[in-house]
A and B are shown apart, each in its own frame.
Chain A
């Protein structure tokens, strides 16, 4: 069984292909192209334009690398949300076309579910506490009664967004990443002193907006590179402490023994170190997600699509609407019923 997956929820257009044979699943190909803004943040229309340009190239390349023809596929999976409307429409249009023209099942995939499922696939964890941290999301979820249940989440901005906004506002970005390293991690190296900044944890929920405002206000008064560095260092330290604390609380409250970290920020070494330190005290296992599968990618959509197809979940192309706001905890997943 072969499933092609298309990801286009935000800055990344991705194509993945997975194969299932005798019960074992393999990722055959994972091709991703990122749109990078020249200035400011992601411009949805510009990103969509980028996606429409690279889409046919990547899909053809994926098929060529695997030696498959479109007619060999058993299903077309696409991330229908959550995400940016113009970007989502590119992936959805292509997937609808492929599914109806080649008469293949069209599989609707929730982007957040896909991040978690690919993380579980790689870590081989069965029932973890999940921390999903990226530019668009910061949440903690557990599996319960057929769904991922949100245990805690940000009440305002996501963690990745906090970092991106801060480095942009102080004039360091774009580019947000330099050789795979975030600008915040780079400027944190300039400093060495920890300064107090707001720390807002509400039970298992978080709030980063006060931290951002305070850090920006301090940065506007900073007069040297070292001072900016101190702010970056402290901002990162406090934000990661907050995340680690709520994760620890969720781990204890839910009585789980595994921690899975997914999403773009899962590749951050400083965060993973903190989480590993915390987990050690509770004899819990931790798994991050390798860079290739932690950021937005096509393989995670293909893989989750395969799981859904095995459970006979598909959608008629004319009813495959994009959902810009499609919450993780809305999605019924048959394989989570046992939890």
Chain B
């Protein structure tokens, strides 16, 4: 029985469904009227597939993600465990300093562990993290843009996305939040040094970054 719609996201509708007293989440990737039908079907299929695969992989490796229950590729549906709680994006402004630090570090550890399995998230933002009201732990959700890769670049992009997201959502929290996140990240992931170095490079790639111009001038004129 469909209880209610949990969210209407950018690519999927997420339903809360009750089956024999058990609450589960059913996520259906919907057709996008702006996409040509050929691309539309291919997309929904690919993303449903990869999300199911990665959720299974992470869940079996004891990473805190919703447990996948079943997949219906014909209808682009995944059913998974219901994580009751609040998305980090909705509560981050109301957290006290202590909790903010604690959650940031925990989140850093989470994404670090995910990366240590050679998986990147692809849309790592505050909207894709749930603070579970049952165990007060963080769960990373929405792996539709995720993938398998050994490329440091993909891991650094995850951190870059989170950095930009927190800057857009609440710039005042940026330093505290992101520094603690990186601390947690470095604790669990042995390639974190390389990733953080790449993260700096990505920042400089943005349009019109002043430091890049300076670096280039120094590079060309003063250093061999």
Contacts and interface: CB of A to CB of B under 8 A. Distances in A.
Given A203-B122, A204-B161, A142 B168 contact: yes
A158 interface: yes
A163 interface: no
Contact of B213 (A136, A155, A325): A325
B35 interface: yes
A145 B93 CA distance: 14
Nearest to A324: B213
A125 interface: no
Given A203-B145, A281-B33, A249 B10 contact: yes
A278 B161 contact: no
B97 interface: no
Contacts of A252: 8-10, 127
Q: Report whether over half of chain A's contact residues are helix, strand or loop; otherwise say mixed.
A: mixed
B157 A149 contact: no
Contacts of A240: 34
Interface in A108-148: 136-137, 139, 142, 144-145
B207 A327 contact: yes
Nearest to A157: B207
A244 B34 contact: yes
A190 interface: no
B219 interface: no
A173 B3 CA distance: 56
Contacts of B164: 150-152, 204-205
A203 B161 CA distance: 7
Interface residues of B, number: 39
B34 A324 contact: no
Given A281-B33, A325-B213, A245 B207 contact: no
Interface of A: 81-82, 136-137, 139, 142, 144-145, 149-156, 158, 194, 196, 199, 201-205, 237-238, 240-241, 244-245, 248-249, 251-254, 273-275, 277-278, 280-282, 324-327
Interface of B: 8-11, 32-36, 38-39, 42-43, 89, 122-125, 127, 145, 157, 160-161, 164-165, 167-169, 171-172, 202, 205-210, 212-213
Q: Which 7 A-B pairs have the closest CB atoms?
A: A325-B208, A274-B34, A203-B161, A203-B123, A277-B34, A249-B10, A277-B33
29 contacts: A81-B208, A139-B207, A149-B167, A150-B168, A155-B157, A194-B38, A194-B39, A201-B122, A202-B122, A202-B161, A203-B122, A203-B125, A205-B160, A238-B39, A241-B34, A241-B35, A245-B10, A245-B32, A248-B10, A248-B11, A252-B127, A253-B89, A254-B168, A275-B34, A278-B32, A280-B33, A282-B8, A324-B208, A324-B213
